[in-house]
Amino acid sequence: MIIAIGFAVIGSLSSWEFLPRSLGRFAIFGTIIFAPLALAELIFQCVEIIAAKFSHQSNHYWAAIVLLTIFTANQVQEVTAYLVMFFIVMLIRWLISGLAQFRESSHETHFNN
């Protein structure tokens, strides 16, 4: 989240001509990449914290979110592309965190023998 905010600040400083324009273009791409990932992480953490607070399994909450998304996509056709993009960003987030956990666990188990 801090990275996305930092890119947004760099972009706004560049648009006010305090920084070079090339830095502004860099900031736009950084904001486009990191802002959805930060939002996905925020949503993921909220669901996990709510599930832990109520002593439930989080997969029930994820199933409810998927059902709500399917229902919304069927009722409002204009938001279908946004919902698909949201789930793609969530899958990218899970892929990144899974690779980080795999790398961490493989480092501990395979190389310490």
Q: Which residue, among 86, 104, 101, has the nearest Cα to 44 in the 3D structure?
A: 86
Mean of the per-residue pLDDT values of the chain = 84
pLDDT in tens, 38-49: 888 898 899 989
Predicted confidence (pLDDT) per residue in 78-109, tens digit = 999 998 998 899 899 889 888 888 887 765 55
Tell me, rounded to whole angstroms, the distance of Cα 35 from its chain centroid.
7
Q: Which two tokens stand for residue 10?
A: 């760099």
DSSP string of 50-81, one letter each residue: HHHHTT--HHHHHHHHHHHHHHHHHH-GGGHH
Q: How far is CA 33 from CA 38, 45, 61, 72, in A?
A: 9, 19, 26, 26
What pTM was computed for the model? 0.69
